[in-house]
Amino acid sequence: MIDKNQTCGVGQDSMPYMSCLIHIFEEWFGVEQLEDYLNFANYLLWVFTPLILLILPYFTIFLLYLTIIFLHIYKRKNVLKEAYSHNLWDGARKTVATLWDGHAAVWHGYEVHGMEKIPEGPALIIFYHGAIPIDFYYFMAKIFIHKGRTCRVVADHFVFKIPGFSLLLDVFCALHGPREKCVEILRSGHLLAISPGGVREALISDETYNIIWGNRKGFAQVAIDAEVPIIPMFTQNIREGFRSLGGTRLFRWLYEKFRYPFAPMYGGFPVKLRTYLGDPIPYDPKITAEELAQKGRKKHQEKDHTLENHCQKNDEGCCSSFD
């Protein structure tokens, strides 16, 4: 409480600066005991901080459902134009991409480095899977805005079972395989993205960014069959933004048993996100799928060392690529 006998002036009976400032606001707003209200508000913030951290990751899912609602409205509005247009969804994709790009810029200051490494033709992009792959959503938006291309993506089977997601997955060309379909898409000249670690990497990996690919080499075989380059992709700080409890024994067992990510997530921190595209691994008809998969793994394992060395030489703490 503030002693009214004290003054805001300099002297023996003067109040501390903050107490003086609170006293001024009390007189200004005509509110008594403002300091007690502020202390109570600070207490509430301390109590509810854990709850806020648990809610923020699901705000991303809320945004996805808003996107789906917009797509349904767009679909109803343009149903009569479908017979006259081959690009019915381009307007919707442009609008959604702009909204997600704005969210990326405001909340994460999102940047993409190495966009020039994406060829005009087909390419296979392999990326590290964060607890929530929000970086890939942002990347898809950037690709569509700046290059006018839709980057197809291979998604886990469980994503196609989420209520309401079917339209979103169709409009943004997500698929769950098989390998022949992936090869067909690449041979048609499109970009295709695959996370070799998938949901297991999203759940089990942590802030050390350890790669959890196992012995997977299907992505390498797809690139060989389609005769396209592989472009490694990594987003700095994606694990600092969102984290998962999937590494605990219980949630790992649940995933292995039911193949569904039951693990809770937390985070949504407004950290800086930078996506780096590495130098393409060119198509080589003499290389095997095992050798190509090992090359892709090596590219990702080198990312932390290369980024750290480069960023030490850069005053802005930002590097342009990883080799």
Q: Write out pLDDT tens, residues 79-121.
A: 545 544 556 788 888 889 988 998 999 899 999 999 999 999 9
Q: What is the pLDDT of residue 265?
A: 87
Query: Among residues 138, 139, 167, 173, which one has the least CA distance to residue 153?
Result: 173
How far is residue 75's CA from residue 92's CA, in Å, rounded to a whole number? 9
Rounded CA separation 301/286 (Å): 24
Please tell me which residue in 103, 129, 190, 305 is annotated as part of the active site.
Answer: 129
Q: According to the model, what pLDDT value does residue 157 have?
A: 92
In this structure, which amino acid lies at residue 122? P
Question: Tokens 């012995």 correspond to what residue?
Answer: 215
In the chain, list all ranges with CATH 3.40.1130. Answer: 89-311
Q: What is the CA radius of gyration of the chain?
A: 25
Which helix (H) or strand (E) is 17 found in, with range? helix 17-29
Condensed to tens digits (0 to 9), the pLDDT of residues 161-203 reads 999 999 999 999 999 989 999 999 999 999 999 999 999 999 9
Res. 4 pLDDT band, cuts 50 70 90:
very low
**Which position has the higher pLDDT, 76 or 13?**
76
For residue 111, the tally of other CB atoms under 10 A from its CB is 18
* Whole-Å CA distances, 140 to 48, 94, 97, 212, 218: 34, 11, 8, 23, 23
**Whether 129 is catalytic:** yes
Find the helix or strand (DSSP H, E) in which 123 lies: strand 123-127
Cα–Cα distance measured from residue 44 to residue 49, given in angstroms and rounded to the nearest whole number:
8
Which of 63-77, 141-155, 210-224, 237-251 has the weakest average pLDDT?
A: 63-77
Q: Please name the residue that has the structure tokens 């999203």.
A: 202
> Confidence class of residue 12 from pLDDT cuts 50, 70 and 90?
very low
CATH architecture of 89-311: 3-Layer(aba) Sandwich (3.40)
The burial class, CB within 10 Å (0-12 / 13-18 / 19+), for 134 is buried
pLDDT digits 0-9 by tens, 259-304:
889 888 888 888 999 999 999 999 999 999 999 999 998 887 776 5
What pLDDT is stored for residue 26 in this prediction?
Answer: 59
Q: Return the pLDDT at 20.
A: 65
Is the pLDDT score of 309 beyond 60?
Answer: no
Q: Higher model confidence: residue 55 or residue 2?
A: 55
What pTM did the predictor assign?
0.75
Whole-number pLDDT of residue 57: 75
Contact present, 288 and 229 (Cβ < 8 Å): no
Helix (H) or strand (E) holding 28: helix 17-29
Mean per-residue pLDDT, 66-85: 67
Pick the range with the lowest mean pLDDT from 22-31, 93-102, 125-134, 250-259.
22-31
